Amino acid sequence: MRPYKVLLFIFACLAVMAVLCVALPHRVEIGDRSLKWPTLAEVFETDPIATLDSLEFPDTPGTPEIIETPASPDTPDTPATEAPKPEIVVPKVVVDSTIDCREFLRPFYEVLSESDRQIIRVLHYGDSQIEEDRMTQQIREALQARFGGAGVGLMPLAQTIPSLSVKQQLFMSERFVLPTQGPRRYMVYAPKRDQRTDKKYGVMGQMAEMNDSLVSGSEDIMAVCTPQGINARYTKWKIFADTSIHSTTHGDTVWLNGKGVVYGLSQQTETGVIVDNLPMRGCLGTVFTKIDKEQLQTFYEQENVRLIILQFGGNAIPSNKNPGTIAGIVKGLRDQVRYLKTCAPEASILFIGPSDMLTQIDGEWQTYPMVPYMDGLLRKMALEENIAYFSLYRWMGGSGSMLRWQEVGLAGSDGVHFTRAGAKKAGKAVANWILEGER
């Protein structure tokens, strides 16, 4: 078959699929089963449709509810040979709703008045919900618009997860390579084979080792990092690497030579607010105590880190149905908060809880029972540790809200992740909430 016929066939298939996305309903019930068909918004992750303007999303999370397990419907008598399944009882979580936890950000608000004389760094750590810089970008834009600063901030030498804010190309010995073909990477949140024994991961929780014996050509690297949109207004490069690494920069290009470790590259300014996007895919957030304390302390102090945002918890939900396990994970997150306080005593901390998440229960898409429970525990933990807390779950609308987000193109078909449009909306809500507390 001639090439143009193959191309026509491909376009015809795409056209048919597009028509089906428009013509078929988003969800079809067939007996006791539910069949979902993606919308065009989910396929292309375009901006939400016009009906979004009619939806109401409160700017500030509402009052936490007391969470209880809903009563189970009556069931027929169980045969004597079958033991009834034990019912999982979710404990109540009572949280003081009279406290505006943004008061715990007061030291951060106060130092923002000095942004015209120094840099003020904000680190946004999180799981896959913040990948591509989708939520962080909104926080960065809002803070830099009011307090100055520019640039996308930190990025890894080998950027294996694409970003909407900066496009990266990597060359070794003048040969283009994919990020996965670049220098050997070690990550604190990776499988053990990609972890270090000395805890020297740097502030990003990952690093790249330039060493020809590990990857041929990795002692001579060129990275072209092209910022997108307003991120292009940066004025300087900053390279975080061993002293054995020699670096030069010109425009959006950095050349690195030598044998050693690169902990990150940064496009930034001399003054103003720098906001770094630090995603950790699949991570529970209980890894910071595995990073060398001296490294963290040095970076936080020298770079004037004054706000650390932690956005974790969602990865614990799908695989855990036991409240005790969830409580144990929240305890582990409390330990991370305390550890980061010792590493960055001048920094305020904001914890962003998990969004609503869906699973099938008796054939119906419903909120995972542990989502509101974890949200309540995290809010309680934050107040006890004197840190700020933003509840994505309650801001979205609580139980079942992810279904509504799916219907208007703000959430993906997995019922877990936002689309780019949804992440943008959530990021703006967090940014507005932060700035409203500064007034």
If you count them, how many residues does the chain have?
439
3-state secondary structure of 170: strand
Beta strands 166-172 and 220-227 are antiparallel
Looking at mean pLDDT, say which of 48-52, 92-96, 155-159 comes out highest.
155-159
- Residue 372 and residue 430 in contact, taking contact as beta carbons nearer than 8 Å: no
Q: Cα angle vertex 30, ends 407, 369, to 5°?
A: 55
Residue 277 has what DSSP assignment? Answer: E
Average pLDDT over residues 210-237: 95
d(C-alpha 242, C-alpha 252), whole Å:
21
Give the chain's radius of gyration (CA, Å): 24
Residue 56 has pLDDT above 50, yes or no: no
What is the structure's pLDDT at 10?
77
Terminus-to-terminus CA distance in the chain, angstroms?
A: 67
- Residue 275 and residue 181 in contact, taking contact as beta carbons nearer than 8 Å: no
Quote the pTM value. 0.82
137 CB-near residues (< 8 Å, 6+ apart): 164, 165, 277, 424, 427
What is the structure's pLDDT at 97?
77
CB count, 10 Å around CB of 369? 19
User: What mean pLDDT is reported for the chain?
Assistant: 87
User: Which has the higher per-residue pLDDT, 310 or 57?
Assistant: 310
Q: Which of 89-98, 295-304, 369-378, 400-409 is the least confident region?
A: 89-98
